[in-house]
Structure 1
Amino acid sequence: MISKEDLFYKIGSLEQELIELGAFLHANPELGNEEFQAVDRITTILQNNGFLVEKGLASLETAFRATYTVGTGGPVIGLLCEYDALQDLGHGCGHNLQSPSVLGAAIALSQLEDLPACTIEVLGTPAEETTSGKIPMAQQGYFDHLDIALMMHGGDRTTVDGRSLAVDNFEFVFEGKASHAAVAPEKGISALDGVLMTFNGMEYLREHVRSDVRIHGIITDGGIAANIVPERAAAKFSIRAINRPYLDTVVERALNVARGAALATGTKVHINPIKSLESKLNVQALNDLLLNNAELVKAKNITPPREQTGSTDFSIVTHRVPGACIRVAFVPQGTPNHTKEWVKASNSKEGNEAIMTAAKTMGATCIDVLSSPELLKEIKAQFSAEKEVQNNLVLQ
């Protein structure tokens, strides 16, 4: 039987290298699709530990796959990591913790002498905060062959992901006609009026949708000067809901708001889709394994899944294969992410402890799956059942 104690010992022997990797990523934050230093450092460590590395997956320069195979056949375990930072903030979402923890689990597993036939794949997925590298990677089938997929994320508590919100992101670009705002305002058509009326319409829409719906936006272009009627203005909106069928109805109403604003103001509107993500598909057996192993390694502040949640591109993976994410506490409960508090904590004693806790939790979960073919069958059966429910979901 595979020993979790041996796994934990091997992860412990990697501690210094893992913490140094996290600190390097923290000190060198890179935006989505520009994570060249991160990928070079991560893949070099994997190569030095016997993993076969492929870069440039799905035409993404900073996507990679690192593979370690034991024997022939056996389950394929995917360990996913992100490493992009936030504009003007740095690692305010703790992505510098993900790669070290995933590498700790993957490398330690590869060093176990009694590991059964299997394949361990570390999948580097860039640009989670922006364009979502998992989208083209999923479209080109890079997750479809996995038996399970695991991730970690920092958090204000240790828990698993429950539901997530499906989301559609759009840019609305309005075209008007420029004119002097004081001398000849009657000759102008304000593109900004179209944007502002869109915001007002979205406020009215909010009153007549379900409580799980989230509609939020920003103005990205409001004109160039106060005394010039804006001939161009633009806004970006995210529209979210718990399930895709209902979200689709809300999205169509939201798009009609923008179309109506253009009609009312005499402008033209161009609707540019940016990104579309599903709600997460959960497999309870896999979530339970992660939480049980988090308890085994004495993770801090273990709680049930969060009630309030956002959206994740990991949801795309969970609609293709059984997937789960362990969130590991490293900031005080209630501390919101995408903040300076998260930036500071992601390079601290607490952040380092989260790396080790997550590595042990994910590694131990892999051992459970590899040790029990029946357990893997149960995970897959739950996944198929949940997917059937989602596919037959109707408006409620």
Structure 2
Amino acid sequence: MKETINQQIEELRASFYQISQYIGENPELGHEEWQASKILSEELRKHGFQVNLGTSGLPTAFDALFDSGIPGPSIGFMAEYDALPEIGHACGHNLIGTMAIAAGIGLSKVVKSCGGKVYVYGTPAEETRGGKVTMADAGVFDHLDVAMMVHPLYRHEKSGSSLAMDAIQFEFFGKPAHAASSPHEGINALDAVIQTFNGINALRQHITPDARIHGIITEGGKAANIVPDYAVAQFYVRAQQRSYLNELLEKVKNCAKAAALATGARLETSFYELSYDDLNTNEALSSSFTENLMMLGIAKDDIHQKGSGGSLDMGNVSHVVPSIHPYVKICDQPYVCHTNEFREAAMSEQGFEGLMLGAKCMALTGYDVMTNPELLKQIKAEFKAKKR
């Protein structure tokens, strides 16, 4: 039956190539992915999926279901398809979105032989205000037994961890004055921002090695001879575990509060993007994916361990349902994501072969879950234990 899955995906090779190339050539920013959402969901509908658009109130999100009509596990595949400003699909989301529908369609062709349901979710804006966060909070994934997505990279990597992340903004309100003739009458909001950075820089000595704090000044004044009455700083605060991130965030906030107190500026604090949780990889599910990767010809020594790096909205999904987020190789050079070189790799023939490999591995792993009750039992037991 696994060979049938591979054959079904291969038979649709031309369609999947056309879709991934179209999305890559027509990049759309987060929550503006109208064409990508349309072409992906229409392909699913063509293969018998029931498709709903605008999931969780997100206009470019979708959810698609293929129901075998026979009781069994529910398998979810996550599609991403938003691009980056100016450099387009330099994170390979044209591959990720197409990979998800290819896996879903491939598995749907055999699901009536084993029972269960196949879901594909269109999850917009991963690069900014991650759609998976909104969808997870709305309970969209609660019914799933497992969830999967695969990301392109310069090498094959197992699903690992990611950093929990909060995007916090500090706005300082001061009082303008002539910076030369009457500076004593002003309250300098930019000074408050600078003191916030100084406080955070001092804090860095006392945080765990996995944590990251990095920020920019988005507003700092209008002219050098005017005391700035409004200044804004934005920070990403990250850590390996959500529990420590919550603790660290309070310390970062205190740096801003202290700066406001020292300068006399008024402080307003807000989040400028949605918060991401750390990725909770399900090792039992990950092992099944790795075994399928090797079955398809990838040598064990070519599959690397994934460390902690950036932040993913798949992390939020992984705290709701057993999940994995492995990586497949799409280039021979160590190109990193969010570069022009990686964008070109995502549009290359080798990039497309990585798409096909990832799609097959996800579909085969879904089939394992559907047909191996002991595996599903292990997956659920591990997930339950980690949530304690």
Provide the TM-score with structure 1 as the length reference: 0.94
- Structure 1 residue runs without a partner (length 5+): 389-396
Closer, same or farther in 2 for the Cα pair 1:234/1:163, shift >3 Å? same
Find the aligned partners of 1:295 and 1:127 in 2 and give their Cα distance: 32
Give matches, 1:290-309, under 5 Å: 290-299=289-298, 302-309=302-309
Task: Return the letter of the residue paired with 1:31.
Answer: L
In the other structure, the counterpart of 1:234 is: 232
- Tell me the alpha carbon deviations over residues 319-368 of structure 1, each in whole angstroms, 9 at most, x when there is no partner: 11111122111134643211111111111112111111111110111111
Task: Return the letter of the residue paired with 1:180.
Answer: H
- Tell me the alpha carbon deviations over residues 87-116 of structure 1, each in whole angstroms, 9 at most, x when there is no partner: 222111111101211111111222237632
- Tell me the alpha carbon deviations over residues 178-212 of structure 1, each in whole angstroms, 9 at most, x when there is no partner: 22323332222221111111111111000111111
**SS of structure 2 residue aligned to 1:280:** coil
- Structure 2 residue runs without a partner (length 5+): none
Give matches, 1:147-226, under 5 Å: 147-226=145-224
Find the aligned partners of 1:93 and 1:342 in 2 and give their Cα distance: 7
Find the aligned partners of 1:195 and 1:331 in 2 and give their Cα distance: 42
**SS of structure 1 residue aligned to 2:326:** strand
Is this contact kept in 2: 1:33–1:127, CA < 8 A? Answer: yes
**SS of structure 1 residue aligned to 2:64:** strand
Could you tell me which of 271, 274, 277 is aligned with 1:273? 271
**SS of structure 1 residue aligned to 2:355:** helix
In the other structure, the counterpart of 1:341 is: 341
Find the aligned partners of 1:82 and 1:365 in 2 and give their Cα distance: 19
Closer, same or farther in 2 for the Cα pair 1:248/1:158, shift >3 Å? same
In the other structure, the counterpart of 1:371 is: 371
In the other structure, the counterpart of 2:255 is: 257
* Stretch deviating more after TM superposition (294-303 or 356-365): 294-303
Find the aligned partners of 1:141 and 1:66 in 2 and give their Cα distance: 15
Find the aligned partners of 1:331 and 1:230 in 2 and give their Cα distance: 48
In the other structure, the counterpart of 1:64 is: 62
Could you tell me which of 79, 104, 115 is aligned with 1:81? 79
Task: Return the letter of the residue paired with 2:181.
Answer: V
Find the aligned partners of 1:87 and 1:186 in 2 and give their Cα distance: 42
In the other structure, the counterpart of 1:361 is: 361
Task: Return the letter of the residue paired with 2:110.
Answer: L
Q: Does 1:8 align with 2:26?
A: no
- Tell me the alpha carbon deviations over residues 350-396 of structure 1, each in whole angstroms, 9 at most, x when there is no partner: 211111111111011111111212211111111111222xxxxxxxx
Find the aligned partners of 1:170 and 1:302 in 2 and give their Cα distance: 39
Is this contact kept in 2: 1:31–1:127, CA < 8 A? Answer: yes
Task: Return the letter of the residue paired with 1:167.
Answer: M
**SS of structure 1 residue aligned to 2:110:** coil
Closer, same or farther in 2 for the Cα pair 1:308/1:375, shift >3 Å? closer
Task: Return the letter of the residue paired with 2:248.
Answer: V
In the other structure, the counterpart of 2:326 is: 326
**SS of structure 1 residue aligned to 2:191:** helix
Q: Does 1:101 align with 2:99?
A: yes
**SS of structure 1 residue aligned to 2:271:** strand
Find the aligned partners of 1:359 and 1:80 in 2 and give their Cα distance: 11
* Stretch deviating more after TM superposition (11-20 or 155-164): 155-164
Q: Kindly report structure 1 stretches of 4+ aligned residues shifted beyond 4 Å.
A: none
Find the aligned partners of 1:20 and 1:184 in 2 and give their Cα distance: 65
Find the aligned partners of 1:334 and 1:189 in 2 and give their Cα distance: 49
TM-fit CA distance, 1:127? 0.9
In the other structure, the counterpart of 1:243 is: 241
Find the aligned partners of 1:241 and 1:216 in 2 and give their Cα distance: 12
* Stretch deviating more after TM superposition (47-56 or 335-344): 335-344
Find the aligned partners of 1:226 and 1:270 in 2 and give their Cα distance: 24
**SS of structure 1 residue aligned to 2:336:** coil
Task: Return the letter of the residue paired with 2:229.
Answer: E
* Stretch deviating more after TM superposition (299-308 or 126-135): 299-308
Is this contact kept in 2: 1:23–1:347, CA < 8 A? Answer: yes
Task: Return the letter of the residue paired with 2:352.
Answer: N
Task: Return the letter of the residue paired with 1:163.
Answer: S
Closer, same or farther in 2 for the Cα pair 1:383/1:21, shift >3 Å? same
Q: Quote the sequence identity (%).
A: 42
Is this contact kept in 2: 1:299–1:357, CA < 8 A? Answer: no
Is this contact kept in 1: 2:331–2:350, CA < 8 A? Answer: yes
**SS of structure 2 residue aligned to 1:328:** strand
Closer, same or farther in 2 for the Cα pair 1:357/1:65, shift >3 Å? same
In the other structure, the counterpart of 1:391 is: none
Task: Return the letter of the residue paired with 1:372.
Answer: N
Provide the TM-score with structure 2 as the length reference: 0.96
Tell me the C-alpha RMSD between the 2 structures: 1.6
In the other structure, the counterpart of 1:122 is: 120
Find the aligned partners of 1:60 and 1:267 in 2 and give their Cα distance: 37
Find the aligned partners of 1:227 and 1:336 in 2 and give their Cα distance: 43
Find the aligned partners of 2:56 and 2:223 in 1 and give their Cα distance: 42
